[in-house]
Every structure is written in C-alpha cells, then in structure tokens.
Copies of this chain bind each other. A is one copy, B any other.
Amino acid sequence: MIKDFQMSNPDILVSEVGPRDGLQNIDAVIPTAEKKRWIKAEAQAGVREIEVGSFVPAKYMPQLADTLELVTFALAIEDLSVAVLVPNFHGAKAAVEAGVDKMSIPFSVSETHCQRNLNRSHEQMFAEIDRIIEMLDSQPEGKRPYFEVGLSTAFGCSLEGKIADQKIVAIADKVMQSGCDEVGLSDTTGSANPQQVRHLIRLVRSVVGDDKLTGVHLHNTRGLGLANALAALEEGITTIDSSLGGLGGCPAAPGASGNIVTEDLVFMLESMGLSTGIDIHKLLVVRETLAEAIPQESLFGFTADAGLPLGY
C-alpha cells in the first residue's frame, strides 16, 4: 500500500505508464510543458497513479531527461501517486531524493535480456537491489518510497523464449527476502496468454504471499492485452498498468501495439461494475489532447473511435 487514497476508493488501480513506457518507445521528444498538461489532465480525469518518467541517464533516453521536473510537478497534484522507473542504484537514489511515492526496477527473468537491457547479470542485479534497499532503509520515516521489482519477460523473452517457472519463482523469492516491498509481473514481449497469467500469478503468490504480488504490466502486442488483464483480475490482481492511446509500440514489431490501452481498459473495468475512480469521458478528451501533441504518432484503442454504448 502506497498512499491510503489509492486502495480506499477504487476497486482497481489503473496505473498510467504512458509518460514513461509510452514516450521511451517513440522518437518524438515532447516538450516538458506538454507532458505536464497531460499528467495534470489525467489526474483530473481521476487517474490515481502515473509513472511520470525514468531516472535513466539522458544520453540513453533524451525523451525522459525532464523526469525530475515532472516528479516535482506531479507531487503537487493532490491524490496522485507519483511513480518512476529506476534502472539501478543511481536512479533509485535520484528517485528517493526527488521524493517519489513509488519506484520500480525492471528485473528481466531472462538473463540474456537483463544483460542487453541493463547491462547486468542476475548476480549483479541482486547486488544492485541489496544496495538500493540498504539506501532505502537509511531513509527517515515517511521518506521511503514503495519499492517494487518488476519481473520483466516473465511470460517469455524474444531472445530466450519461455523462462522456466523455477527461475522466476527463485528470483521473486530472493528479491522479497532482500526487502523489496512487492514484485510485479511484466509481459515485456506481449507473449502472455490468459492461462499463463493465471498460472504465474498463483505460482509466484504461493512463494511471496498474495499481498506481495498485486500488479501486472501487460502488453497488447498480439491483441490479448485485455483478455490477460481479465485473467489477472479474476486472480485478484488490483493494479493494472496501461498507457493512454496504447502508446509504447514495440519498435521491433511495426504496427503492433505495446501497452494495453488505458481508455479500453477503463471501459472494460467500469462496464463490469469495477470502479476505477476515472471519468472515461474526461479521459477520452485527454487522449485527443495527446494526439494533437504528437501528431506523428498513431494511437491505439477502439473505444475512442467507437464511442461509448448507448445507455453506458
């Protein structure tokens, strides 16, 4: 639990990752003022958590160079949990200094992908996480952000294929023992199917405990994003990452969507009777603003084009 308001109100926490996961995958660099408008408008539409950026060296991701400024801006918005991604100890330190509510580190269960993505072996990742937790433990009360380890490529890797259950479980167990607050499951390559989502959630929970795996990060690469989200919901998952307009297409697969689409996810949840705290009408307006800000990118999702059903 990060901030009380997150879990007290809505049934499901829709965590918007567009400003981070979306923007890191497109060429365009959006002006900081435009990003602030986006973040503020989504918060005003009722979104309770936004991953605003990543504390990664600007030379690698110039699109996210303004993360510190965005964190400061977003922290001033009432009732918003401000999340960031951190690739390593230095990023984590910057995130803590910035005062974020939540930070996640991606731990690819595929060691090949881990090496390619963060230039670290699994052993080095464990050591880095130990260092981060030591730093977190030295923070004064109330200054320690919630720290999640995202198990990337958990449903399959484009370099290694499917990763063995035992390996995933062992990593989850070890990072929880190290003292991180929670693990998450990430379908980095969009390979998951609903059966596998159920299986892996149950398996990892059997080791870390039900309350230490509450969120999933799913992609829509092969169109199964919402079906996988449904399976996760039915397993009791309460936090689902998504991206406005499905921003974040995988560069390796032209035309293929990346993240699941926030608008369609909210439509699904709300029409199922699950509250998200989000006003979908306002959300669809934010989408239009975003589309205007990045005219060169095509947005994904169906609800925006189709409109809401009569009587919704």
Contacts and interface: CB of A to CB of B under 8 A. Distances in A.
Contact of A230 (B194, B253, B256, B311): B194
Q: Copies per complex?
A: 2
A272 interface: yes
A302 B221 contact: yes
A193 interface: yes
Contacts of A194: 230, 268, 272
Interface stretch (A17-25, A54-62, A115-123, A154-162): A154-162
Interface string A145-172: 0000000000011111110000000000
Interface string A300-312: 0111011101111
Interface string A278-312: 00000000000000000000000111011101111
A229 B226 contact: no
Interface of A: 156-162, 189-191, 193-196, 220-224, 226-227, 229-231, 250, 253-257, 261, 264, 267-268, 271-273, 301-303, 305-307, 309-312
9 contacts: A156-B311, A161-B309, A161-B311, A193-B271, A195-B272, A222-B267, A222-B309, A223-B302, A224-B264
